[in-house]
Structure 1
Amino acid sequence: MWRGYCDFYRAQVPEETTRRTWSRILDPDSAVMCIVAEVDGQVYGFANCVVHENTWETQPVCYLEDLFVMPSARGHGLGTALIEWLRNAMRAEGWARLYWTTKADNAPARRLYDRFTQADGFVRYVIRQK
């Protein structure tokens, strides 16, 4: 499923990065966490998040870094359920906010996200180490 997500974004994630990511997710002391959407014991989607401190609020915030539902399971409310779970966790844990980014042309994802909140108008910039 992780490969499907990476393929969707045409991302070449090195195997070592994948191993390290999942090691962090499985580490209870890590700020990185993963929740899954499952039906009848079969996992059909996931959301990877990072809870972190910030400079705009006194409470931590949660960055939803990855959200993916297998194409065969889309349209059945799993993406909604993942975001609802995080929104409930935000309230229960006292996070100041839950936020994420998506590609501007990812219309299906944006339709889902627009049901929760509107895009805030910020534009993301990225500098990569060569």
Structure 2
Amino acid sequence: MTVSPKSSSAACIRPLTVDDRAEWGSLWREYLEFYETRLPDEVYNSTFARLLGDDPHDFSCFVAEADGRLVGLTHFLFHRHAWKVESVCYLQDLFASSDVRGTGVGRALIEAVYAEADSRGAPSVYWLTQEFNHTARHLYDRVGQLTPFIKYQRP
């Protein structure tokens, strides 16, 4: 799957590989900074190992590569749902570098997750974002449907 970013070359959407560790870590760090979150190196190491593992219940990752560098990522997970026979897909993280935003990289990453969900027979893909994430929500309003659910969590 490819998408045309601002530059003359295309972004390739592909699964994460072991050789992507450093660039993936930089992208995920930028993503977490947007949400004012810092994590210890132990979490980066654990998450990367899980993304490359073979447990079908663990997260997976697609990356966007353009001009020989990673410019985006998405982490997603398939899980059972009490209201459906099939598993559903949770898209947990989506990030595109600031220099490629608005070029279709985010959409291409979401569409890659949609395609993976279709190939696994998952009838739905869902995700969360913060209300103030207006740039991302502009994309999400075009590729998804806003639901009325409100998230609560244990304090």
TM-score of Structure 1 vs Structure 2, range by shorter chain = over 0.9
Distance in structure 2 (CA, Å) of the matches to 1:120 and 1:87: 18
State the partner residue of 1:12.
38
Counterpart of 1:21 in 2: which secondary structure? helix
User: What runs of 5+ residues in structure 1 fail to find an aligned partner?
Assistant: none
Over the residues paired in the alignment, what is the CA RMSD in angstroms? Answer: 1.2
Listed one character per residue, the Cα deviations across residues 26-75 of structure 1 (whole Å, up to 9, x for unaligned) are 11225210000111332100000111111111111110000000111111
Partner of 1:79: 106
Q: Which residue identity lines up with residue 35 of structure 2 in the other structure? A: Y
Judge which range, 106-115 or 82-91, deviates more.
82-91
- Using the size of structure 2 for normalisation, the TM-score is 0.79
Please name the residue that 2:90 is paired with. Answer: 63
Structure 2: runs of 5+ lacking an equivalent: 1-26
Report the TM-score, using the length of structure 1 for normalisation. Answer: 0.93
Tell me the alpha carbon deviations over residues 60-105 of structure 1, each in whole angstroms, 9 at most, x when there is no partner: 1110000000111111100000011111112121012100000001
Separation (CA, whole Å) in 2 of partners of 1:17 and 1:86: 23
Q: In 2, distance between residues paired with 1:70 and 1:117?
A: 21
Match of 1:28 among 48, 54, 57: 54
Is 1:122 aligned with 2:149?
yes
CA distance in structure 1 between the partners assigned to 2:81 and 2:31 by the alignment: 28
The residue that corresponds to 2:29 in the other structure is: 3
Q: Please name the residue that 1:102 is paired with.
A: 129
Structure 2 partner of 1:50: 77
Runs of 4+ in 1 over 6 A off after TM superposition: none
Equivalent AA in structure 1 for residue 122 of structure 2: W
Distance across 2 between alignment mates of 1:46 and 1:64: 11
Q: Return the letter of the residue paired with 2:70.
A: V
Q: How many residues align?
A: 128
Identity over aligned residues, as a percent? 38
